[in-house]
A and B are shown apart, each in its own frame.
Chain A
């Protein structure tokens, strides 16, 4: 592997009181990866994402974005460093149009302040033009251009997920964190989403994705991190993961309780 990893976590931990939600996890996402994070429910995947994006401050450990330490940075600062994310349970701006949703994604790329807005200065005009063009371009590529004036909350569930991705793309991210993008989608939608994510990756976006859909993960990711009870079980290519005994134990058990398996791995 060459170069500085796009996103790197070094031994990060998050404790909620006595609960060790995430326990010293290391991770490196390289440029161009589709990096999958899997694990049973409650394995700490979303907590891990929340730490990366600054929603939670890690109890211990450090996070680097393109070599820059972003530990304990506020979420909006991290977004300015071009890390974009989507949410597990859809946090769209439901009562704004699809276009406006994506336009907010352009927030960091534009600079209009209140005076500009009132006086309609050149900066305002340029920014609006940029925001509209950029948003339409993204919506076009994601196939939602027809719905640009629809209220986001009125769209079908699968489409709402896409709007959320479109919104994140407007940040021009160096890395895109997708938290269960296929949750609640039917198999057809999942398949088209998978294609879409691969297409994004082909365009040069680096993507980290949490997903439960194994087919999705195994077919599209080139590296996978497996978490279980907040700890890193293993990391590797899909084939390595498939053949890894610990992973199989975590998912299917081996006749003893899963907790035992964790202890064995220390």
Chain B
């Protein structure tokens, strides 16, 4: 069944994707309820953010926990510049992305010598430091008051204030992200990233400059997190430091892992599941986080590779586990 679906997809790939894009493009005309459009916007935003994290975690195997930090950099750069200098939204997308990329580069410097959990902690620490700076640097970030009334982007005179219009910004960014990432992954650069994920020593022995590629990988992920951060700020119209806690980072990570690391579609699916779930369970109030947490644990137990992930993926550990269990013999269950 899976095989057939896959073959079908491969055959009519272009058509399917165009139809999908067209459906997504006319959705705002079909769905009249603004609230639902807002949900869709959220889904696409988180899909891109999760995708940017996936570009790091899923492809070069560096376990970054601090994506919220890069996201915050983008959001604050965009909001502060738009508000104080009246710079237009569109160039800011790039500026915010580049800012996050620079920070990503700085964060990647110590991580090059580190691996595994140490790396994760440095990224987590960096994200917390960014948040605390955002909370205290009042002249620029508004301190704990945050930045309010961020100007809405304009597109050839059309005010993007309405979610129906904003929807297209997120859609365009998501499609652009997927398009670009797909191309990068199918090139020498992407292969180099994946080889680092699989076996860094072997990768080095084949002449891959692993430090450089790990660093560019970080910058790439950070760039997109920054871009989506810039787009996020006017959408919610108000940003403050508490939106960028480590829990936000974990939330994004959960989307990536639930959907499936190392697949392009995984983070999108993860974003859909998480967003729909948190909205649908809203009536449960604080119990919904309990359910969400249980879902994460449940997924790790039954399907660690995520919904989209292949059962034989590196990240699932399916095979590796079997092999090592054999090695370990009959250790008491």
Q: A: which residues have CB within 8 A of B?
A: 53, 55, 74-76, 79-80, 84-85, 87, 91-96, 100, 103-108, 110, 112-114, 116-118, 120, 124, 127-128, 131, 151, 153-154, 167-168, 170-171
A105 touches B184 (CB 8 A): no
B188 touches A85 (CB 8 A): no
Can you list 24 A-B contacts (CB < 8 A)?
Answer: A53-B205, A55-B204, A74-B204, A76-B208, A76-B209, A76-B210, A79-B205, A79-B206, A91-B202, A92-B199, A93-B194, A94-B319, A96-B194, A100-B191, A104-B195, A107-B191, A107-B206, A112-B187, A117-B188, A118-B183, A127-B188, A153-B312, A153-B319, A167-B206
Q: Specify which of B198, B201, B206 is in contact with A94 (CB 8 Å cutoff).
A: B198
A94 proximity list for chain B (CB < 8 A):
198-199, 314, 319
B121 at interface, CB cutoff 8 A: no
Smallest CB separation, B263 vs chain A (Å)? 12
Q: B: which residues have CB within 8 A of A?
A: 180, 183-184, 186-192, 194-195, 198-199, 201-210, 216, 220, 312-314, 319
Compute how far the CA of A113 lies from the CA of B188 in the bound complex, rounded to whole angstroms: 8
Smallest CB separation, B146 vs chain A (Å)? 34
Smallest CB separation, A91 vs chain B (Å)? 4
Q: With contacts A79-B206, A113-B189, A168-B206 known, what are 6 further pairs, Cβ within 8 A?
A: A79-B204, A91-B199, A91-B201, A94-B314, A105-B206, A108-B206
Question: Most A CB atoms within 10 A — which of B184, B188, B208, B314?
Answer: B188
Q: Specify which of A55, A96, A116, A124 is in contact with B195 (CB 8 Å cutoff).
A: A96
Interface of A is mostly: helix
Compute how far the CA of A100 lies from the CA of B195 in the bound complex, rounded to whole angstroms: 9
Smallest CB separation, A77 vs chain B (Å)? 8
Q: Specify which of A85, A114, A167 is in contact with B189 (CB 8 Å cutoff).
A: A114
Q: Specify which of A118, A131, A171 is in contact with B188 (CB 8 Å cutoff).
A: A131
Interface of B is mostly: helix
CB-nearest residue of chain B to A85: B205
A95 proximity list for chain B (CB < 8 A):
198, 312-314
Q: Specify which of B195, B203, B204, B207 is in contact with A171 (CB 8 Å cutoff).
A: B207
B312 proximity list for chain A (CB < 8 A):
95, 151, 153-154
Given contacts A95-B314, A108-B207, A127-B188, contact A117 B183 (CB under 8 A): yes
CB-nearest residue of chain A to B184: A117
B189 touches A112 (CB 8 A): yes
B180 touches A104 (CB 8 A): no
Smallest CB separation, B149 vs chain A (Å)? 35
Given contacts A91-B199, A94-B198, A95-B312, contact A104 B319 (CB under 8 A): no
Question: Most A CB atoms within 10 A — which of B183, B186, B207, B216?
Answer: B207
CB-nearest residue of chain A to B194: A96
Given contacts A91-B199, A95-B312, contact A112 B188 (CB under 8 A): yes
Smallest CB separation, A24 vs chain B (Å)? 25
B189 touches A104 (CB 8 A): no
B198 touches A116 (CB 8 A): no
A85 proximity list for chain B (CB < 8 A):
205
B183 touches A93 (CB 8 A): no
A114 touches B204 (CB 8 A): no
